[in-house]
Copies of this chain bind each other. A is one copy, B any other.
Amino acid sequence: MTDKPWAALLTGSRQAGPAPVYHLEAVDQTGQPRQVAIPGESPLTIRVDGRDIATLMTLGSHPEELALGFLRSQRLLERLEDVASLEVDWAREAVEVRTRQGVGLPGWDEKASRLEVSGGCGQSSLFSRTLENLRQEKLPRVQLRQSTIYALLEAVTPLNVIYRQASSVHCCCLCQEERVLMAVEDVARHNAADIVAGRMWLEGITGADKIIYATCRLTAEIVTKVAFMGVPAVVTKSGMTRMGLELARNMGMVVIGRAETGRFLVFNGQDQVVFDALEG
- Give a binary string over A151-180; 1 marks a CB under 8 Å from any B CB, 0 the rest: 000000000000000111000000000000
Q: Is the CB of A41 within 8 A of B265?
A: no
| Interface: A221 (CB within 8 A) | yes
Q: Mark A14-29, 1 if CB is under 8 A from B, else 0.
A: 0000100010101111
Does the CB pair A188–B113 fall under 8 Å? Answer: no
Flag if B24 contacts A267 (CB, 8 Å): yes
- B38 lies within 8 A of A242 (CB): yes
Q: How far is the CA of A241 from the CA of B243 in the complex (A)?
A: 29
Are A262 and B41 CB-contacts (below 8 A) given A121-B120, A125-B52?
no
Closest-CB distance, A202 to chain B (whole angstroms):
20
B-contacting residues, A216-271, CB 8 Å: 217, 219-221, 238-245, 257, 262-267, 270
Within 8 Å of chain B (Cβ to Cβ): is A99?
no
Closest residue of chain B to A51 (Cβ to Cβ) is: B125
Say yes or no: B125 contacts A43, CB within 8 Å: no
Contacts of A30 in B (CB 8 A): 275, 278
Cβ–Cβ contact A123 & B54, under 8 A: yes
A134 within 8 Å of B (CB atoms): no
Q: Are B70 and A123 in contact (CB under 8 A)?
A: yes
The reply to whether A123 and B188 form a contact with Cβ atoms under 8 Å apart is: yes
> Given the complex, which residues of B lie within 8 Å of A262, measured CB to CB?
29
- Nearest B residue to A128 via CB reads B55
17 more A-B contacts (CB under 8 A) besides A55-B125, A117-B118, A168-B240?
A: A24-B267, A28-B264, A29-B263, A41-B122, A55-B124, A56-B123, A57-B219, A109-B111, A117-B125, A118-B124, A119-B119, A120-B120, A121-B121, A166-B239, A167-B239, A168-B217, A188-B219
